[in-house]
Amino acid sequence: MNEVILTPKEQPHVPIETRTIKPDDFAGKSIDEIKNLEVWYGNTTSKISDFFDVEGESGPTPAETNIVIDGDVYNTKRIGQGMTDGKITVNGNVSMYVGAEMEGGVITVNGNAGSWAGQDMKGGELNITGNVEDYLGSSYRGDWRGMSGGIITVNGNAGNEIAEYMLGGKITIKGDVRYMPGVHMNGGLLVIEGNVISRAGGEMKNGTIVIKGVADDFLPGFEYLGIKKDITPNGELIKGSFHKFKGDFAEKGPDGTIYLAVAGNNHIIP
């Protein structure tokens, strides 16, 4: 696999919009052509070379192209948006929309990510070694179609309303989550290995949420179905003892499932 290395220059105060930083746009291009690819800076167009030093060689296809962003890009948005194949590795933090609309390939962020990471994701893998902000794997504002495929893994904590309107795929959060994970969820699997503050699965219609930690608060619109051991949501074995709930009965025809670890959560059982 051929590799193109982008070394960030100083991050500007106004965010950069970089839909072209993906293997699909780099494949088959020379380094000079990559340097001249368009990015948005405020309401004006600029070039990748205005914000990055560029070296290396792209592959003939996206599958043979690996992009390494070697540094912090905390004010750079939309890295890997819509990519279909290949690899992107970011050695630092990223801003919003990393991996949005992603269909294939692998993105690894060795740092933290902003809001709307993996928004409307359809395939591929998004790995974030640090924390992520709000709306991970969610839908666009006003839409009802969130993440429908692929795998997202976050090693740290996540913010509010992750997996909003999720339709398919899998999200794993290894740390803690704030408010309303899985709100309006209609498919897929959300696994939270840490704690949740409140309102998991609000108005969910389908899909599965597994919470291995403690939920400080739990919505009343769920039917309690007893204790289940060594569960297999979506055919995947998850060991342990869990309280099982069905809901949310605030919706018509609810068929969502929440598994809540027995340890530390008996205060929620009706």
Using DSSP bridges, classify how beta strands 52-56 and 76-77 pair: parallel, antiparallel or unpaired.
unpaired
Q: Which domain holds residue 268?
A: 117-270
Cβ distance 199 to 217 under 8 Å?
yes
Are 215 and 258 found together in one domain?
yes
Alpha helices by DSSP H, the chain = 23-26, 31-35
Give me the pLDDT at residue 250, please.
86
From first to last of its 270 residues, the chain has per-residue pLDDT tens of 899 999 999 999 999 999 999 999 999 999 999 999 999 998 999 999 999 999 999 999 999 999 999 999 999 999 999 999 999 999 999 999 999 999 999 999 999 999 999 999 999 999 999 999 999 999 988 788 899 999 999 999 999 999 999 999 999 999 999 999 999 999 999 999 999 999 999 999 999 999 999 999 999 999 999 999 999 998 999 999 999 999 999 888 789 999 999 999 999 987
Give me the DSSP letters along 40-73. Answer: EETTEEEEGGGTEEEEE---SSGGGEEEEE-S-B
Give me the pLDDT at residue 262, please.
97
Q: How many domains are there within the chain? A: 2
Are 60 and 172 found together in one domain?
no
Q: Which is nearest to 173 in space by CA: 159, 202, 153?
A: 153
Are 50 and 103 found together in one domain?
yes
Are 135 and 269 found together in one domain?
yes
Are 19 and 48 found together in one domain?
yes
Give the chain's largest Cα–Cα span. 65
Give me the pLDDT at residue 159, please.
98
CB proximity list for 235: less than 8 A, separation 6 or greater: none
CB proximity list for 30: less than 8 A, separation 6 or greater: 58
